[in-house]
């Protein structure tokens, strides 16, 4: 990393009529890191990325990309920047290779051999000469990443790159982003999937209805996460519920589906399960309901959740971190 900020957005606000899409947000992405902008649909993630690319203008605030601003440098802001907003689009009657060749010509050409390098990087070499109209959604997403890398950018911006992919496609896309990050490229990606952000990103901004709910490192986020919850079914839930009174660190309640929900630190959950077995209460299922970070994500972004009352001190600290 160096001292140059890849992205510096300060006090950015954008409205569409009466809708406040982005409300006075500040985001700083250091060169060389993988940064996630996380939030549910409608949180303002794509609006922010559209402003970063100059597709729409903020009502107030400033955005600098690699030290350049739209006011001072115009389209020169995008020198050294690649990426796509929402899903990439291609000519379906052309092959993947032909689409990339056309984009390269529009951008002034590329160095010899780069196109083949990119096809290999995104694992599309064997399908490059087939028409894009026959590609799967995941293949188009990977071709979109290759197209974004044609100009050999210093900053790669990806808007929900794994959205709509099947589990195998999600795995492949995450692996691809990791390879790009390991090369030293700065990556800014948006997502509504906490697992994706946790696996890939160094730092994250969590957005809620256009505002910032959290800024910070993934490590910091983990320290604030609530205890994990587990769905538990046994051969005698009544006795299991009574036995839970001997484990004060846990909260055990009945689920509407007639199972039990166990919430608490993992070592205490393990001790409780061992106690059930010792008391001849067999386990039928034990399933984690949410990862701790998933639970925290919903606590921060869901207006209707009651979970925000469970750990007020930690949430107050999160609110302070977002300022």
Domain locations in the chain? 5-223, 229-290
Q: Are strands 229-234 and 260-263 parallel, antiparallel or unpaired?
A: antiparallel
Query: What pLDDT is attached to residue 294?
Result: 65
Listed in order, strand segments (DSSP E) in 194-248 are 203-208, 211-217, 229-234
Please identify every stretch of the chain with a pLDDT value under 50, giving residue numbers as ranges.
Answer: 1, 304-319, 321-323
Q: Which CATH number fits domain 229-290: 3.30.70, 3.40.720, 1.10.760, 1.10.3470?
A: 3.30.70
> In percent, how much of the chain has pLDDT > 90?
36
Cα separations in angstroms, 196 against 5, 23, 33, 300 = 23, 25, 15, 17
Q: How many CB atoms lie within 10 A of CB 278?
A: 9
- CA dihedral for 47, 50, 55, 60, sign (positive or negative): positive
Listed in order, strand segments (DSSP E) in 235-321 are 251-254, 260-263, 283-290
Query: What pLDDT is attached to residue 315?
Result: 43
Architecture of the domain made up of 5-223: 3-Layer(aba) Sandwich (3.40)
Query: What pLDDT is attached to residue 290?
Result: 59
- Tell me phi and psi for residue 300, to 5 degrees: -80, -25
pTM: 0.74
Q: How many CB atoms lie within 10 A of CB 85?
A: 17
The per-residue b/e assignment along 186-207, b for 16 or more CB within 10 angstroms, e otherwise, is bbbbbbbbbebbbebbbbbbbb
| Sheet bearing 155-159, strands edge to edge | 81-84, 155-159, 186-191, 34-38, 203-208, 211-217
- CA dihedral for 31, 115, 117, 201, sign (positive or negative): positive
DSSP count for the chain of H helices, then E strands: 12, 14
Q: What tens digit of pLDDT does each residue of 260-318 get?
A: 888 778 888 889 899 999 999 988 878 777 565 666 666 676 654 433 333 434 444 44
Spatial CB neighbours of 18, under 8 Å, sequence gap ≥ 6: none
**Structure token digits, residue 157:** 């911006």
Query: What pLDDT is attached to residue 3?
Result: 64
């Amino acid at each position: 990393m160096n001292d140059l900020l890849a992205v510096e957005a300060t006090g950015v606000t954008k409205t569409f009529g009466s809708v406040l899409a982005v409300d006075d947000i500040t985001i700083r992405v250091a060169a060389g890191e993988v940064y996630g902008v996380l939030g549910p649909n409608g949180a303002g993630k794509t609006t922010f990325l559209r402003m970063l690319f100059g597709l729409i203008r903020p009502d107030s605030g400033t955005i600098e990309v690699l030290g350049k601003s739209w006011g001072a440098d115009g389209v020169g802001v995008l020198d050294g920047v690649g990426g796509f907003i929402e899903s990439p689009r291609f000519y379906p009657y052309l092959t993947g290779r032909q689409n990339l060749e056309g984009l390269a010509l529009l951008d002034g050409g590329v160095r010899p051999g780069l196109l083949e390098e990119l096809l290999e990087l995104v694992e599309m070499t064997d399908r490059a000469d087939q028409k894009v109209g026959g590609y799967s959604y995941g293949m188009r997403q990977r071709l979109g990443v290759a197209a974004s890398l044609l100009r050999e950018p210093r900053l790669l911006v990806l808007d929900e790159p794994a959205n709509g992919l099947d589990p195998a496609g999600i795995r492949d896309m995450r692996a691809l982003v990791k390879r790009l990050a390991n090369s030293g490229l700065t990556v800014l990606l948006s997502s509504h999937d906490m697992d994706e952000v946790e696996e890939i990103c160094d730092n994250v901004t969590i957005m809620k209805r256009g505002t910032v709910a959290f800024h910070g490192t993934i490590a910091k986020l983990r320290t604030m996460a609530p205890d994990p919850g587990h769905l538990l079914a046994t051969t005698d839930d009544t006795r299991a519920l009574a036995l839970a009174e001997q484990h004060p660190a846990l909260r055990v309640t009945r689920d509407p589906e007639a199972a039990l929900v166990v919430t608490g630190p993992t070592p205490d959950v393990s001790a409780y399960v061992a106690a059930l077995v010792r008391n001849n209460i067999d386990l039928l299922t034990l399933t984690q309901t949410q990862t701790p970070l998933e639970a925290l994500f919903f606590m921060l972004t869901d207006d209707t959740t009651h979970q925000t009352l469970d750990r007020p001190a930690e949430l107050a600290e999160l609110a302070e971190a977002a300022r």
